[in-house]
Amino acid sequence: MSYWSVVKVIYIPLLISNFYRTIDNDTKINSEVGYFPNKIAYDANISLYSYDQLGATSAVGYGSAIAYGLVKYTASAAQQITKIGTWVNGSSATVDIYIYDDFDGSTLTNLLGSLTGQSCTLPGYYTFTLSSAISISNGNDFYIKIKYNTPTYNFPIPTEKAITGYASPVLESGKCWISSSGASWTTVGSGSGREYDVCIKSYNVGTSVTSSTFTGTGNWSTGTWSDGVPTASVNAIIDGACTVTATATCKNLTINETKSLTLNSGISLSVNSDFLIKSSATGTGLFNDQEGTLTVSGTKTIQRYITATNWHIVSSPVTNALSGVFNGIYLKYYDPSAQNFTYITSSTESLTPGKGYFAWATSNSTVSFSGTLNSTNSFNIAVTHAGDNWNLVGNPFPCNVDWALEGGWTKTNINASTMYVYDPSYNGGDYRSHNGTVGVPGGSSSIIPAGNGFWVEASSTGNLNVRKTALTTSSQSFYKSVATPANMFRMRADKEIYSNETVIYFEDGVTNNYDPDKDAKKFFTDNQDIPQIYTTAPTNEQLCINVLSALPNNVVVPLGIYTTPGNIAFTAFDYENMDANENVFLEDVTLSQMIDIRQQPVYSFTFNTGDENRFLLHFNYNQTNINPIDNSEISIYSFGKNIYVNNGFKENATIKIYNLLGNEILASVIRPGLNRLPMNPIAGDVYIVKAINGKKIFTKKIMISK
């Protein structure tokens, strides 16, 4: 078989029909001829895409020399488009060819290649070799547009149609279009009312597939691969969420950053060369081995990306890593007995799986762990009860683990069952915590990323046992939503660019004292500019999570804050789930103010040295302790740059004026009757005025007008 390149063919149907007439009786023999100057040798690797099996049996146009044809094909394998073929209906013609990746029915987009200004001296069938082959993935659609310019013929577009008694082609539907301008398109073909196909062919050469990429979510054997399901000689690239549910094989296997591969229990996956999990600034790839069988003939490498000038807690995902993998990066570990850090200076020190290490890079770096994956179904991490009892441990798996997943962990002698993760992006370097029920700050996840270390506090010598049932491919982000327990209350402290939180919630069966199995201690960061907020137990433990007994009346909880001097705003939230009849008051001891959190969830003040224990939280506070002054007894208003207080009592009263930051700017004793208090403020300033007469208190917000 050969592919013929035709220089001149005039009405091929006529040529064929005349061919079988007897020469003696046919007066039309040789009146129209076809000339074939050369041929394309048959190549079994060429796939010919065509809808005109019978050739061009007709032509259409718009009454002018220029018109456009368009066809759609779908690649049956990974191929390269090398030639385009079409019929030319007139002499002295030109052809422009464009190949696109996408067409929405009206607009062609993503041009893949073109070949323009092709001269066709005589009418006939032409094949045009592209200047550069165009690669097409298996299953990918591509569109070929041709502009025909036939100055000697006003029906430029070659088509195949049925001709009674001569041709009965099978016409396509939704595969061919025509246009007078190349801008708007008319569908032709079966069922369109224009019963013909456009005669444009594509010559595609098969390529040797070296890689296939998985996208989307699904099974290895039935999911979306760019060039088919990999074989033993094809590299597999995971760029989605892939699950291996049946025996699979490939050459090299790469899991891209933030993507995941899950190997189901009892399933075999054979990698005939190298296995790589990639990591970058966007995240790390995940391998979730649920007791399948992974066989890798080459090297197994797991990357860990480390951003510059931040401490990161890291953990080795392989059994035999040495400290030399952190070449050029500062590395240290924590010694609970000595309660200090020790820098690792040797390149041959073993990195213990399940242990956490602090790493600091002076420039963005990618660390590559090579060796045997930590893949045991049940991994045991010993914790010690020495010194301050804090242990720096790590996630040993090349996959995320969920701290809150029941059945995934055994937490023996771990205070409050709480983990603390250092997040370089939070406050420029601060801790997030989770006790399996709630996270601090709000929205912190129970997910511990692959290759990440974390802190736990031991109440005595114990261990953490993590099983593969705790593995998860859910987001590595520490901003995942978590369920909010009933009767929970959060308080956030904001100061300039920093914020910090503490949480209180109520649960049956606990005490209001420090409960090591429930209450989580505050883990303070070194940055003293962060307004680190906490509550204090009766036995003086400073807590980030404080679990109290079922809510009785008049529970008082000290609210502490540690930072440098500056303006701070407290914001209360998550109390909406509490019973509407349960109140929460914030007491500013320094200013003798009681703030109803439900009515005023934001409270601003100026923090000074010595204010660490300035606040108390009152739950179900008995409001009869407050005896407010009746408005008829005292009135407060402003006029000009003065505040006026009309004291309706027969004795003196005390007036205190604060700005909205909580700073006291005036304290005075007023006599009975009208009192003028000059303020000399800036127009628009707002003040809190408090009048005190014995046990009676009256507070009013005043704005100074212009």
CATH number for the domain that contains residue 652:
2.60.40.3080
Q: Do residues 69 and 98 share a domain?
A: yes
Q: Are strands 447-448 and 340-343 parallel, antiparallel or unpaired?
A: unpaired
193 Cβ contact list (under 8 Å, min separation 6): none
Q: Can you list the alpha helix ranges (DSSP code H) found in 180-280?
A: none
Q: Do residues 121 and 56 share a domain?
A: yes
- Contact indicator for 343, 360 with CB cutoff of 8 Å: no
Look up residue 118 and give its two tokens. Answer: 């092709």
Q: Do residues 543 and 450 share a domain?
A: no
Last residue in a domain, options 451, 478, 505:
478
Domain with 265 in it: 211-298
Q: Is this prediction's pTM over 0.75?
A: no
Last residue in a domain, options 602, 624, 646:
624
Look up residue 350 and give its two tokens. Answer: 């073993």
Instruction: Tell me the Ramachandran region of residue 489: left when phi exceeds 0, alpha when psi lies from -120 to 50, beta otherwise.
Output: beta
C-alpha to C-alpha distance for 703 and 641, rounded to whole angstroms: 10
Q: Do residues 35 and 165 share a domain?
A: yes
Residue 23 CB neighbour total at 10 angstroms: 7
Q: Looking at the domain assignment, is residue 336 inside a domain?
A: yes
Q: Looking at the domain assignment, is residue 510 inside a domain?
A: yes
Q: Do residues 107 and 163 share a domain?
A: yes
C-alpha to C-alpha distance for 57 and 447, rounded to whole angstroms: 66
Q: Looking at the domain assignment, is residue 513 inside a domain?
A: yes
C-alpha closest to that of 215 among 196, 237, 234, 193: 237
C-alpha to C-alpha distance for 558 and 551, rounded to whole angstroms: 16
How many domains is the chain partitioned into structurally? 5
- Contact indicator for 547, 517 with CB cutoff of 8 Å: no
Written as one string, the DSSP assignment of 566-598 is EEEEEEEESGGGS-TT--EEEEETTTTEEEETT
Q: Looking at the domain assignment, is residue 483 inside a domain?
A: no
Q: Looking at the domain assignment, is residue 279 inside a domain?
A: yes
Q: Looking at the domain assignment, is residue 349 inside a domain?
A: yes
Q: Do residues 111 and 95 share a domain?
A: yes
Residue 258 CB neighbour total at 10 angstroms: 16
C-alpha closest to that of 239 among 257, 227, 252, 221: 257
C-alpha closest to that of 388 among 354, 434, 338: 338
Instruction: Tell me the Ramachandran region of residue 344: left when phi exceeds 0, alpha when psi lies from -120 to 50, beta otherwise.
Output: beta
- Contact indicator for 636, 678 with CB cutoff of 8 Å: no
C-alpha to C-alpha distance for 97 and 387, rounded to whole angstroms: 78
CA 44 → CA 38, 51, 210, 473, distances in Å?
19, 20, 20, 45
∠ at Cα 505 (501, 506), nearest 5°? Answer: 165
CA 415 → CA 140, 390, 538, distances in Å?
56, 10, 17
Q: What is the pLDDT of residue 582?
A: 80
C-alpha to C-alpha distance for 281 and 413, rounded to whole angstroms: 36
C-alpha to C-alpha distance for 151 and 604, rounded to whole angstroms: 82
Look up residue 457 and give its two tokens. Answer: 């506090």
Q: Looking at the domain assignment, is residue 417 inside a domain?
A: yes
Identify the helix (H) or strand (E) that includes residue 13. helix 12-19
Residues in the chain: 706
Q: Do residues 457 and 555 share a domain?
A: no
Q: Do residues 155 and 294 share a domain?
A: no
C-alpha to C-alpha distance for 522 and 234, rounded to whole angstroms: 52
Q: Do residues 537 and 567 share a domain?
A: yes
Last residue in a domain, options 178, 206, 234:
206
C-alpha closest to that of 207 among 262, 136, 158: 136
Q: Are strands 390-394 and 453-467 parallel, antiparallel or unpaired?
A: antiparallel
C-alpha to C-alpha distance for 687 and 693, rounded to whole angstroms: 20
C-alpha closest to that of 115 among 88, 147, 73: 147
Q: Do residues 28 and 172 share a domain?
A: yes
- Cα dihedral angle (669, 674, 679, 680), rounded to 10 degrees? -150
Q: Do residues 388 and 498 share a domain?
A: no
In which residue ranges of the chain is pLDDT below 70? Answer: 1-38, 209, 475-484, 551-554, 622-632, 640, 660-661, 681-684, 695, 705-706
Residue range 603-650, pLDDT digits in tens: 999 999 888 989 989 888 766 555 555 556 788 877 767 787 888 887
C-alpha to C-alpha distance for 703 and 706, rounded to whole angstroms: 10
Residue with tokens 């299953």: 139
Q: Do residues 156 and 230 share a domain?
A: no
